[in-house]
């Protein structure tokens, strides 16, 4: 970003990144306390996995309608209500006295978190120029990465010392306070008419549809590894619970933030030269990270594990900054929250909902090591899928004769329209100049 942020841009990016941090603290802390929950409630791997499935199922059901609601009403008000709701649900999770109540509480956390990301990413995209889209979304996603790592690291350390119930009470409080801060945010006005974009038109855009399918594979792998990671390291690498949480959280946090920064910077820079630059960074990061992840899963040496785990986290996190930018580049501004909500709905329903359960069932039958192998291997399918996205974007840019010296406000939907008869249905009417 060459120009300094103005007051409103700084507030939007800082507050929403902080909320995203708490979003993923509350989301990923369940993986850190999972061994304690299994002991307290006498749960098998398959039963414990239902906690992740219940969360993801509610998230997938509600993220699309809540994203559409955000596009048609006030995005900041939808976000504020969502943050307050999921924080209270996290607090209630700590009160659960049975496994059934625990499942209900985690489901409510998933419902609340479903509304946040579509609305937040839409406001961020609207608040900044398209030329820096990957970098600002990468900054937002750095909050996600750090929050997830703090949830794993600090969650494990706190739970091992004061218990899992007080730990959930503590992490719920910041979100309750942040909900009121969101209401004070400046919400940029959307210039285009609030005419809804039919969902079928989004899914009939070839590059968008391919990105959704590819994202399902990548997210399945990532969520399975995060959900079962602490348990795997404790039982297969010889770490204690508190030690595992702190080491994994710190390692993944540093590697992830560095990877997001580098990946987002590379994506925006390469985008100036070629239309498919942002997608190329996603493909490169996945391809470079997978071998190190497989090495980390199988090495018996703890130091080698930490080094390869760190390296894989660095490369795999290149995915996060460019992804949201690519999805928004493909779709009209009035559908940004809807496009992200639809993506999240499908990805959570197909991938996040089933990842803990599938890997848990495999672990019960063949062992958790085999489950980790399958989770790591699924990244390969995601990588191949994003190669298809790259080729579709490249073909569309050639057909539309887009210059490789891209203008500041690049829009993939114009290229997609050149290769798809339904693309024009997604494109809003053109005014004299873009806002």
CA distances from 390 to 220, 383, 393 (A): 21, 11, 5
Q: Is the pTM of this model over 0.95?
A: no
Looking at residue 172, its pLDDT comes to 93
152 occurs within a structural domain:
yes
3 occurs within a structural domain:
no
Q: What CATH number corresponds to the domain at position 375?
A: 1.20.1250.20
CA distances from 58 to 110, 144, 199, 320, 370 (A): 5, 19, 20, 23, 28
CA distances from 74 to 19, 67, 120, 325 (A): 17, 11, 11, 22
309 occurs within a structural domain:
yes
Of the candidates 21, 7, 129, 117, the one whose C-alpha atom is nearest the C-alpha of residue 70 is 117
Structure tokens at 166: 């007080």
296 occurs within a structural domain:
yes
Structure tokens at 219: 């997210």
Residues 339 and 320 sit within 8 Å (Cβ to Cβ): no
112 occurs within a structural domain:
yes
SS3 155: helix
Looking at residue 3, its pLDDT comes to 60
Looking at residue 394, its pLDDT comes to 83
Of the candidates 252, 247, 323, 310, the one whose C-alpha atom is nearest the C-alpha of residue 281 is 323
Cα(259)–Cα(186) distance, integer angstroms: 30
Mean pLDDT per 10-residue segment, the chain (435 residues): 69 90 88 87 86 86 85 86 94 93 93 89 83 80 79 80 92 91 77 63 86 94 85 82 74 84 88 84 95 93 91 92 81 75 85 86 89 92 94 74 37 43 36 34
The number of folded domains in the chain is 1
**Range of 232's domain?**
10-184+198-423
Looking at residue 418, its pLDDT comes to 40
Cα(70)–Cα(72) distance, integer angstroms: 5
SS3 196: coil
Of the candidates 351, 229, 341, 210, the one whose C-alpha atom is nearest the C-alpha of residue 283 is 210
DSSP state of 349: I
Phi, psi of 136 (to 5 degrees): -70, -35
Looking at residue 190, its pLDDT comes to 58
101 occurs within a structural domain:
yes
192 occurs within a structural domain:
no
Looking at residue 417, its pLDDT comes to 45
189 occurs within a structural domain:
no
Looking at residue 184, its pLDDT comes to 81
Looking at residue 195, its pLDDT comes to 63
Cα–chain center distance at 361: 24
Axis crossing angle, helix 7-32 with helix 34-41, rounded to the nearest 10: 40
Looking at residue 189, its pLDDT comes to 67
């Amino acid at each position: 970003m060459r120009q300094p942020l103005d007051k409103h841009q700084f507030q939007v990016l800082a507050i929403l990144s902080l909320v995203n941090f708490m979003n993923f603290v509350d989301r990923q802390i369940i993986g850190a306390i999972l061994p304690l929950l299994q002991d307290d409630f006498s749960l098998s791997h398959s039963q414990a996995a239902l906690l992740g499935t219940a969360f993801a199922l509610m998230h997938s059901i509600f993220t699309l309608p809540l994203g559409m609601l955000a596009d048609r009403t006030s995005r900041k008000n939808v976000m504020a209500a969502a943050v307050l709701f999921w924080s209270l649900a996290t607090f209630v999770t700590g009160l659960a006295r049975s496994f059934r109540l625990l499942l209900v509480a985690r489901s409510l956390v998933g419902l609340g978190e479903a509304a946040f990301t579509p609305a937040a990413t839409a406001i961020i995209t609207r608040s900044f120029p398209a030329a820096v889209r990957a970098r600002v979304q990468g900054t937002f996603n750095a909050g996600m990465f750090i929050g997830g790592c703090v949830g794993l690291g600090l969650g494990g350390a706190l739970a091992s010392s004061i218990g899992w119930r007080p730990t959930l009470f503590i992490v719920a409080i910041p979100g309750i306070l942040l909900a009121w801060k969101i209401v004070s945010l400046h919400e940029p006005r959307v210039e285009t008419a609030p005419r809804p974009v039919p969902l079928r038109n989004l899914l009939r855009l070839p590059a968008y549809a391919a990105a959704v399918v590819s994202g399902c594979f990548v997210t399945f792998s990532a969520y399975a590894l995060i959900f079962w990671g602490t348990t795997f390291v404790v039982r297969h690498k010889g770490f204690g619970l508190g030690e595992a949480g702190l080491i994994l959280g710190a390692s993944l946090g540093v590697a992830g933030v560095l990877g997001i920064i580098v990946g987002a910077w590379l994506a925006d820079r390469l985008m100036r030269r070629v239309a498919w630059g942002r997608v190329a960074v996603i493909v490169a990061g996945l391809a470079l990270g997978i071998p190190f992840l497989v090495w980390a899963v199988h090495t018996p040496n703890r130091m080698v594990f930490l080094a390869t785990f760190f390296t894989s986290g660095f490369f795999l996190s290149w995915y996060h900054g460019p992804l949201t930018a690519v999805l928004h580049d493909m779709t009209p501004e009035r559908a940004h929250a809807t496009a992200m909500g639809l993506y999240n709905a499908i990805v959570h329903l197909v991938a996040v909902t089933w990842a803990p359960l599938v890997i848990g069932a495999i672990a019960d039958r063949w062992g958790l090591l085999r489950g980790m192998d399958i989770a790591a291997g699924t990244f390969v399918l995601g990588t191949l899928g994003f190669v298809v996205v790259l080729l579709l974007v490249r073909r569309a840019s050639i057909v539309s004769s887009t210059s490789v010296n891209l203008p500041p406000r690049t829009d993939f939907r114009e290229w997609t329209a050149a290769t798809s008869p339904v693309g024009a249905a997604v494109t809003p009417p053109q005014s004299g100049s873009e806002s």
